[in-house]
Amino acid sequence: MPNYLPQKSKRRMSNYVPLRLEDYDISPNNGFLPSEPPLQRLSDPYYEPWEHIMDRFNQYLLAHHIRRLVREMPVLDTSKLTSPAEFQRAFTILSFIAHAFVWGRNGAASEPASEFLPPSVSIPWVSAAEYLQLNPVVCCAAVCHWNWQILDPNAKDPMDIDNLGTLYTFSGSMDESWFYLVTTAMEAKSARGINAILDAIIGVEEDNPSRVTRALNEIAHSLRDANNLLERMYERCDPYVFYWKIREFLAGWENMAEAGLPYGVLYEGVDDTDTFSLDNWQSLIRRFRKYAGGSAAQTPLLQAFDIALGIKHYPTGEKGLQSSVDDARNRLQRRGVPEPPTANSYLVRMRDYMPGGHRRFLEDLASTCRIREYVLLACSDAFLQAGDEKDDRVVMRQAYNECVGLMKSFRDKHIMIVTRYIIAQAKNSPPSLVTSVAPVSSHIIPRSAHDQALARSSSTHPPGGRLGGDSLPADPTMYPQTNTTHASQPSSSSSAHIDRKNARLARKVDEGSVVRGTGGTDAIQFLKQVRNETANTKI
């Protein structure tokens, strides 16, 4: 059988060691989901204060008790957690508690989002996140990967979406459960595709186009399942309920000035927050953290398919960087390896919101997988234009292009969902649920000692507003976004303000304004560029 790889590639790949999913905490049967259903309770009674809140989580949130209960909760450590499954549960329930605390507002429309997260949550949450090697904020892993249960273990397909349930939701609604379960089922169904990616890599190693084609057909099967599941989002998740009742709880604290968190959130008890100087408010502001919220970009599944198919994504706003097929092939023939592209920084940064093993898998896959390069080199210009339909190289190219087409179709569907569930809803007036509200002071429970000291100390007021008070500087340009964990110092030159009492992520957006996703991006611009880059990958 002819070898389609240049000599340099053959030498480099001769030392290839096959990737094993188990080495990256990936299940051969469930993909990026755990092999077994997530725990439904931590066994050690030490953690009953957490479990007590989760036992009636929706009731407490509805009755406006979450902030009080969290402040009364003891500071527990994670030393008694004994397995990855226990750390996953701890991270998940602390994520729900933390976001309910920040965004829950105790049900008062006039109460702002909380800029402070008490030590009872922040300390163990950060500890669990460090063990799992991801950021302490709600993410796809928390609400989808580690938040499901099987309803009937004896079902023909236990992981079918109609046989799955969620453990927790913020709203207590079927809509929110369905929103999570579509992703959960997608992850389970796509395990077949993840295994096929590794098989395709071996096919490239063997210079076996037939094996590569079979693997690509398996990948296509998984992508068809993913497309079908995404289309089912409309069945049981209402756009109105999602936008106005669910979405805000999934937001993080990055690019959220318009939602009432211009500085981010301070994790009390972490990062030496007990030693800041009241004489210099900047010493405290620098310790605020800014994290993106839950986002589809945080699932390693889509990034794995992108890497496998050689789909490159570039910085948002940059166009025309995708090389032509001829240029890509010529470069490969000359050098044997592709030139590393400039990556989309948002997608790369979203890997910090994935468990460590999954992030490492993507990194190792990117350094190993050369499926697209193999197809490019195997198919000459003559075959690209008109080839023998029975030739194994032509069949392989067709299988590859089908996978790319299915990825584009998936992203088309995703854009449609974002348009219907977010963009269209943002153009409507908010629901009139509250006709009158009590003064803010009657709802706010005193914070920690140093928070109260801030409120009393005139020397700690940031320019343009009181930290922890009713208003804060509003201009998002005052807070330069960096790749660091913590917030940047705001500018002292602006006098712009926002009404933090009424600032919300779920709100009517002015015509022409940017509608941000929970990850903090310009949702439509980002998704359209990703979709177009996918389409341009076709050979």
Q: Is 276 left (phi over 0), alpha (psi -120 to 50) or beta?
A: beta
User: What is the C-alpha to C-alpha distance for residues 261 and 266, in angstroms, rounded to an integer?
Assistant: 10
Tokens of 12: 């480099």
Helix (H, G, I), strand (E, B) or coil at 41: coil
Could you tell me which of 267, 263, 270, 278 has the C-alpha nearest to residue 450?
Answer: 278
Q: Are strands 148-150 and 164-166 parallel, antiparallel or unpaired?
A: antiparallel
Residues 6+ apart with CB under 8 A from 122: 98, 136, 267, 268, 269, 270
User: What is the C-alpha to C-alpha distance for residues 528 and 415, in angstroms, rounded to an integer?
Assistant: 7
User: What is the C-alpha to C-alpha distance for residues 436 and 423, in angstroms, rounded to an integer?
Assistant: 28
Instruction: State how far the alpha carbon of 225 is from the alpha carbons of 182, 260, 343, 535, in Å.
Output: 11, 39, 28, 19
What single DSSP character describes residue 380? -
* Long-range contact set of residues 22-29: C-beta below 8 Å, sequence gap at least 24: 23/357, 24/357, 24/358, 24/360, 24/361, 24/364, 25/84, 25/355, 25/357, 25/358, 26/194, 26/357, 26/358, 26/361, 27/191, 28/191, 28/195, 29/191
Tokens of 519: 């990850």
Instruction: State how far the alpha carbon of 21 is from the alpha carbons of 14, 26, 147, 362, 519, in Å.
Output: 21, 5, 21, 11, 28
Tokens of 337: 């390896």
User: What is the C-alpha to C-alpha distance for residues 134 and 143, in angstroms, rounded to an integer?
Assistant: 14
Phi, psi of 166 (to 5 degrees): -90, 160
Count CA atoms closer than 13 A to 369's CA, side-chain side: 25
Q: Does an H or E element contain 499, and which?
A: strand 497-499
- DSSP string spanning 429-459? PPP---S----GGGTPPP--HHHHHHHH-GG
Could you tell me which of 346, 351, 291 has the C-alpha nearest to residue 141?
Answer: 351
User: What is the C-alpha to C-alpha distance for residues 253 and 261, in angstroms, rounded to an integer?
Assistant: 6
Helix (H, G, I), strand (E, B) or coil at 288: coil
Tokens of 193: 């595709």
Residue 414 counted as an annotated binding residue: yes
- Residue whose token pair is 């007590």: 52
Annotated binding residues, written as ranges, equal 414
> Annotated binding site for heme b: which residue ranges?
414
